[in-house]
Amino acid sequence: MSATERTGFFELDAVTLESWCGARGMPKFAAKQLLDWVYGKGVVDIDRMTNLSKSQRDMLAHEMTFLQGNELHSLQATDGTRKLLLGWPKPGAGIALPVLGVATGRETECVMIPTEERRTACVSSQMGCPVGCKFCASGLEGVEGNLTAGHIVEQVWRLAQQPGTGRISNVVFMGMGEPLANASAVMSAIRTINAPWGMGISARKITISTVGLPAAIRKLCDFELPVTLALSLHAPNDELRRQIIPWAEYSTVAELLSACQEWFGKTGREITLEYILLGGFNDQREHAQELVRIARSIRANVNLIRYNEVDGLPFARPDDHDVLTFQNVLRDAGVNTHIRASRGRDIKAACGQLRHEAMKS
């Protein structure tokens, strides 16, 4: 069998893995053994899978690949945040993995963010980003393509294996790419991340963050797992939003809120409004007052995000006083509002920064 025909382990679920094993003469329980080795024990070295026979391990080495990506960089911040840059092979390239120092555009980032209560994996859904938000490094080089479901699951698995990480408790699709522009792969990956035979992470602790595709949000309403939906709003009106989010030309704030209201009506799940504070642009009292009206029109809470500066982009980190004033306006109006802690600033952990640096070098 050629390298291009090898099956990616993380692309399979429990049912398809059992079928794959059965088609190769392996007993049904071999699939459970493989799932336990990879997800239960964190082992992808076939030689260590000692409860499989030598002939079974030889077959696996010939016909299956466990890690499809290559770890190109790993950085750890002083606050414990860890960021990985992964390179993915081109379709048809088999196991010919990208190499350190050679940027191809097929790189993505994932981040493990630790706190006392949780270990959060922030993962990418695309190689680059098609949205091109003016403040974000993810879309500076455009988008190379979609990640597969297996690529997405592999990111979570890799982060869980980082030294000192332990069990991943939360997953957020807030890395590179627009998750709802790759919805089929994202939802397939979530099923594996949630499954008891997989990562076993509660669906309620999995967040899909979208810049806003009303039709896709409505389709997500029918997803069988109770995930959390976050809307990357970032501006309180259409005029301001269109200056920083090109895709805002295709849908108004009112249309997005209508889709979010439908989401709440069907799922009973509150929306999280993500709002990045750009110094002197969208962080003033009048903007907060507009955001109050939006947040009170639907069942929503608000996450405020201080901007992490990106070299070459014209936006600044907001003043601390403006951030607190903004939060107080919302809270005084009864809106549940939190300021997200800035993590990993010393390793440029903001979305797309590490990939951008690799592409420039």
- Known catalytic residues are 109, 351
Amino acid (one-letter) located at 145: G
How far, in Å, CA of 352 to CA of 125, rounded? 12
DSSP notation for 107-145: EEEEEEEE-SS-EEEE--SEEE-SS--TT-STTTT-EEE
C-alpha distances out from residue 98 to 46, 111, 269, 305, Å: 22, 20, 40, 33
Task: For the chain, give the number of residues.
Answer: 361
Which helix H or strand E contains 21, and what residues bound it?
A: helix 14-22
User: Which position has the token pair 């949000």?
Assistant: 217
Place of tokens 């301001």: 240
Helices then strands, counting H and E runs in the chain, come out as: 11, 14
Q: Comparing C-alpha atoms, which of 155, 111, 161, 106 is closest to residue 128?
A: 106
* Antiparallel, parallel or unpaired: β 300-306 and 271-277: parallel
Contact, 10 vs 150, CB < 8 A?
yes
**What's the rounded Cα separation, in Å, for the pair 277 and 179?**
22
End-to-end Cα distance, the chain:
37
Phi and psi at 260, nearest 5°, equal -65, -35
The residue assigned the tokens 């499989």 is 52
Q: Say whether 8 sits in a helix, a strand or coil.
A: strand
